[in-house]
Every structure is written in C-alpha cells, then in structure tokens.
Amino acid sequence: MRYARKSRRLPILLCVATLVVALAGCGDGRPALVRVTGTVQLDGKPLEGAIVSFQPVAQGRDAFQRPSSAVTDAEGKFSPGTYGPDDGLPPGKYRVTIQKRQPVGAASGTSESQASGPVRYQWITPRRLADPDTSGLEAEVTSSGLEPSVFELESDGPPEVEFAPQEVE
C-alpha cells in the first residue's frame, strides 16, 4: 500500500517540477529596455509638442524592429517608450525622425472635422525630418543612455504648408 501512494505522488511531482522549470525559463520575449531622455531644440529654442520617433537599424532578419516614440514637453524634453509611455528603448542604433506640424487657416473655434475642404498644415520642423530615410538623424542607446541626447535642429527657411484632403463620412 505504501508503494501505491508513492507511485501516485511521483507523476504529480514530475508535473509540478516540469511546470516550475518551464515557467522559470519563459519570458515575455521582449528585449531589455534602457530608460533614456533627450531634448529637441529648433533654432536654439526648446521645441514643444514634437513627435520624436526611433526606428531600429535592423541587424538581420530576426533583429528587433519595433519603433518607439515620444512627444516633447514645454522644455523640449522627451522620454521614449517602446511598449508603454516612457519605458525606454532597447540598446542599439536607431534612425530618428522629429516632426511637428499644426493646422492653419481654420476659423477660430472650428475643429478640423468641422472644416470644409482640404485641411492645411504648416510644418514647424523641416518636412524632411519626418522621414527616417531623409532625416539624417541617428542615435545610439547604450546602458549609459542616449547619444546624442540633444537634437539641435535648424529651420530650412519659411515653414512649408501641406494640404490634406478632408475625409468624407
């Protein structure tokens, strides 16, 4: 009878041990993140409300490729997030885009959705900085932080205006 009790316990103990080992080895598959901060300046002044995006420079087919982004505050500071706000970036090299545009020409108090005809946007940052292929901006994240941590941008001349067609419902 003692032998029967031990033989019933053995499969249960093996299942529990297997489960513990499996769970201990499982992660969420996400790379480790480094919390970093940076600053954006346009013509020597902090740029508020700009979208700063980081596109990983892929090193092979299985390399991490999830983009990350942040929005600058009143002092031009940003803290990018990959899976959530401000959670950081995986170490590596990135192509960076920085863009800010705002609607122009709408009547005071009229929202974009209420405007008739195409919506006009004025680019605050040079438009070329919104594309990772043309921005020329690069950064690297290491355990020490973000390099460069300050992006000093210069205007290319008068702000460009873009027309976006109004969507019909």
Spell out the SS3 assignment of the chain: CHHHHHHHHHHHHHHHHHHHHHHHHCCCCCCCCECCCEEEEECCEECCCCEEEEEECCCCCCCCCCCEEEECCCCCEECCECCCCCCCECCEEEEEEEECEEEECCCCCCCHHHCCCCEEEEECCCHHHHCCCCCCEEEEEECCEEECCEEEECCCCCCCEEEECCCCC
The CATH code of the domain at 38-164 is 2.60.40
Ordered by start, the domain boundaries in the chain are: 38-164
Distance CA 147, CA 160 (A): 29
Residues 6 or more apart in contact with residue 2 via CB below 8 angstroms: none
pLDDT value, residue 25: 44
Q: What is the largest CA-CA distance in the chain?
A: 92
Q: Report the predicted TM-score, pTM, of the whole model to 2 decimal places.
A: 0.73
> Exposed, middle or buried: residue 141 (CB in 10 Å: 0-12, 13-18, 19+)?
buried
CA distance 109 to 6: 79
pLDDT in tens, the chain (169 residues): 555 555 566 555 555 555 444 444 455 778 899 999 999 999 999 999 999 999 999 776 666 678 999 999 999 999 999 999 999 999 999 999 999 999 987 544 455 555 566 789 999 999 999 999 999 999 999 999 999 999 999 998 887 888 776 665 5
